[in-house]
Amino acid sequence: MAVYTEVSSKEARELLRRLQLGKLLALQGIEGGIENTNYFVTAEAGEYVLTLFERLTFEQLPFYLHLMHHLAHAGIPVPDPQADRRGAILHTVAGKPAALATRLRGKSQLAPQASHCAAVGAMLARMHLAGRDYERSQPNLRGLPWWNETVPVVLPHLTPEQAALLQSELAYQNHIAASSAYAALPRGPIHADLFRDNVMFEGEELTGFFDFYFAGVDTWLFDLAVCLNDWAIDLPTGAHDAERAAALLAAYQDVRALTAAERELLPAMLRAGALRFWISRLWDFHLPREASLLKPHDPTHFERVLRQRVRPAPALV
Ligand SMILES: Nc1ncnc2c1ncn2[C@@H]1O[C@H](COP(=O)(O)OP(=O)(O)O)[C@@H](O)[C@H]1O
Ligand SMILES: N[C@@H](CCOP(=O)(O)O)C(=O)O
C-alpha cells in the first residue's frame, strides 16, 4: 500500500480550487509505489495523480517538477505538474510537499518484447534531445561521488568475494570517469531510473515515462545503459537479451546517433548502471533508513547483472 499520509476530500477540493481545475469528482489512493503517497484524482478538468513526497524536500523538488513540465511542453509524454495562478507547481497538502500531475494512460509492460524496447529507445532519445534547453541543473545524486561514499558503508555486509567485485568495479569506474573519452560524452538531464515499472504502455503504444525523482544531469549514455540493463535482460538470470538490446539501441540511434566516445564507453556504462543499482539495493537492504517506508529490492539481482557485464562480450554498437 502506498498511502502513508491520508488526504481528505476537503484538502483535495482546496487544491483543485487553487489550480482552477474544477470540482473534485473522485479521489482514490494508489496501492502501488513505495516512496510516496499517491492518489488518483478525477476533476472536472481531467485525470491527475496527486503525489505527497514523503522523503524529498521542498528544496530538492523544483528540479524534478520543472523538468517534467519542460519535457511535457516539448511533447514528451510525461506527467505535467499543474501550476497555480502564480505559476507555482510545488504545493503543500497535509503538511507535505505535493504535486498534482496529469495521469498517464495505460499500465507498465513488465514482460517487454523487442517492439516495446524499440519504443522506449526512441522516446529516450527524444527525451534527451528535449532536455537540452532545460535551464535548471542538479547533479545525479546517485552518481560516482555517492558510489564512492556508499561502498565503504556496505562493504562490511558482504562476503569477501562480493567485496572484491564491488571494490574492483568501483576502481574501474573511477578510472573510466577520469578518461578523455568519458569527458567527451554528451550530457544533459537524464531520468536515471527508467525501469519497466516507470514506463506506461497502452497495447504497443508508449504512453509515458514517469517517476522522475532520481533524475539529474549526467551522461546520456548512462541513462541508456540503465535502460538496457532492465529492458534488455532476462530478469531471473540477469543475462543479456541480444534481440531486445538491438531493438532498443537501433530505435535510440534512429533519433540520435551515438558519438564515437559513446560507442567506445557503452560496455563500461552498462557496468556502471549495474553497479549503481547494486550499491543502492545493498544500501537499502543492509542499512534501512530509520522509519523507512521503502521495501528493499533484491541486491543480488544487480550483482548477477554486473557479473554478466564484466565478462568480455561482443560489441553492441
Ligand atoms: N502520472 C501518472 N499517471 C498514471 N499512473 C501513475 C502516475 N504516477 C504514478 N502512477 C501510478 O502510481 C504508482 C506508484 O507511482 P511511483 O511513482 O512508482 O511511486 P513511488 O515513487 O512511491 O514508487 C505507479 O506504479 C503507477 O501505477
Ligand atoms: N528502480 C530501482 C528502485 C527505484 O524505485 P522506484 O520504485 O522509485 O522506481 C531498483 O530497481 O533498484
Cα 201 to ligand 2 centre (Å): 18
56 lines ligand 1 (CB under 6 A): no
CATH fold, domain 114-310, is Aminoglycoside 3'-phosphotransferase; Chain: A, domain 2 (3.90.1200)
User: Residue 30: CB within 6 Å of ligand 1?
Assistant: yes
Rounded distance from Cα 193 to ligand 2 centre (Å): 7
Expressed in angstroms and rounded, the spacing between residue 227 Cα and the centre of ligand 2 is 12
- Set of cell numbers at residue 190: 537524464
Residues of the chain below pLDDT 70 = 1-2, 33, 289-294
Closest approach atom of ligand 2 to CA 281: 12
**Residue 288: its pLDDT value, please?**
76
Asked if ipTM goes beyond 0.90, one says: yes
pLDDT tens-digit series, residues 92-104: 999 999 999 999 9
Query: Quick one: which of 309, 227, 223 has its CA closest to 271?
Result: 309
- Spatial distance between the Cα atoms of 120 and 276, rounded to a whole number of angstroms: 21
> Within 10 A of 198 (CB to CB), how many other CB atoms are there?
18
Res 290: pLDDT = 57
Nearest residue by C-alpha to atom 2 in ligand 2: 193
What whole-number distance in Å separates Cα of residue 164 and Cα of residue 80?
Answer: 44
> What is the pLDDT at residue 2?
67
- What ranges do the domains of the chain cover? 9-102, 114-310
Mutate-to-test residue for ligand 1 from 31, 210, 212, highest number of ligand atoms within 8 A of CB? 210
- Three-class secondary structure assignment of 85-128: CCCCCCEEECCEEEEEEECCCCECCCCCCHHHHHHHHHHHHHHH
219 lines ligand 1 (CB under 6 A): no
Could you report the per-residue pLDDT of 110-119, keeping only the tens digit for each?
999 999 999 9
Cβ atoms within 10 Å, residue 64: 23
| Cα torsion 137, 142, 147, 148: sign | positive
Helix 220-231 with 242-255: angle, nearest 10 deg: 150
Residue among 38, 54, 193, 214 to mutate when testing ligand 2 (max atoms within 8 A of CB): 193
> What is the predicted pLDDT for the residue at 314?
83
Query: What is the value of pTM for the model shown?
Result: 0.96
Ligand 1 neighbourhood includes 72 CB (under 6 angstroms): no
Q: Does residue 38's CB lie within 6 angstroms of at least one atom of ligand 1?
A: yes
Indicate the class that CATH gives domain 9-102: alpha beta
CA distance 37 to 243: 37
pLDDT reported for residue 1:
47
Find all residues with CB under 8 Å of 224, minimum gap 6, and list them: 121, 124, 249, 252, 266, 269
Task: Report how far residue 52's alpha carbon sits from residue 7's, in angstroms, rounded to the nearest whole number.
Answer: 9
Atom of ligand 2 nearest to the CA of 197: 9
Q: Of 255, 252, 229, 230, which is closest to residue 310 (Cα–Cα)?
A: 229
Q: How many CA atoms lie within 13 A of 74 on its CB side?
A: 17
Q: What pLDDT score was predicted for residue 291?
A: 47
DSSP 131: G
Contact 226, 192 (CB under 8 A): yes
**Ligand closest to the CA atom of residue 107:** 1
